Structure 1
Amino acid sequence: MTTQPDRGGELVPRPERTPDAVRVALARVAPHRLDEMDKNRALAAAISSNKAGHLQHWLTHWAAEVEIERRPDLSARRGRALAAIQGTAGRNDPAFRPAMDELRAVEEEAARAVSE
């Protein structure tokens, strides 16, 4: 399998919103993050609280993470924002807030894309 951009720069097509499809896509675009995508934690939280919403939140979070990883434009923006945040002296640094705003914008764009 290649990870070269195609279809307008996307590394892989947007997966269906199912745990298995999101996991397969994550394995293609960011295999190093698979351990983070631990279904058992989401399942345990849903069972202990008796709320299926935890599972929906988990799926939405990981679908958005795949969206960022599969799109070089979003991935690059997130990388620059994270680097800018790490390069600040903390919350009082004038560069901190704009970097956090950019990170939030990337995450919101990805969340909107997978919610459509």
Structure 2
Amino acid sequence: MSTQADHGHELVPRPEQTPDALRAALAVVDPARLPEMQRTKDEAFAKAVAWQSLSPVQGWVLTWARDIEIARRPDLSTRHARATRELEHEDAAVAHAALRELSAVLDEAMKAVRT
């Protein structure tokens, strides 16, 4: 597990960016998504073979590292859930604000896992 900045209570430490470490972290923070993780991993590896490129696997690792970052940090998880709920709000201004907030959460999580 790597070190990270203090974001308040974190459910698990930030995992290393390996399939096993990511799977172990997801099993704690959002176990219902384990089948999705396995399916997308299989797809990424199949694309890597077909494309003769590691980029699909690297993308898979970053996507799951980002999603786990959100799930392991209640501050980001709360913001993500609220923004997601408000995306389809009947008031267009609320929906646009939710889209901006969702983008900010995703950006913050990606920045955290890329450091």
Where on the TM-score scale, by shorter chain, does this alignment land: which range?
0.7 to 0.9
User: Counterpart amino acid of 1:114?
Assistant: V
1:20-66 alpha-carbon deviations (Å, 9 max, x no partner):
10110001000011111121111011111111111001000000100
Structure 2 unaligned residues grouped into runs of 5+:
1-6
Distance 1:78 1:86 in 2: 14
Distance 2:109 2:90 in 1: 25
Partner of 1:108: 107
Counting matched residue pairs gives 107
Give me the TM-score of the superposition, normalised by structure 2: 0.87
How far has the Cα of 1:115 moved from its partner?
0.5
3-state secondary structure, aligned to 2:16: coil
Give me the TM-score of the superposition, normalised by structure 1: 0.87
Distance 2:64 2:11 in 1: 16
Q: For structure 1, which segment, 45-54 or 26-35, has the greater mean C-alpha deviation from structure 2 after superposition?
A: 45-54
Partner of 2:46: 44
Partner of 2:97: 98
Q: Of 67, 70, 76, which residue of structure 2 is paired with 1:68?
A: 70
Task: Could you list the structure 1 runs, at least 4 aligned residues long, displaced by more than 2 angstroms after superposition.
Answer: 86-89
1:68-112 alpha-carbon deviations (Å, 9 max, x no partner):
0000000000000011113336xxx22222111100110110001
Distance 2:56 2:105 in 1: 22
Distance 2:114 2:61 in 1: 11
Structure 1 unaligned residues grouped into runs of 5+:
1-6
Distance 2:8 2:54 in 1: 35
Partner of 1:86: 88
User: Which structure has the highest helix share of the two?
Assistant: 2
Distance 1:10 1:71 in 2: 5
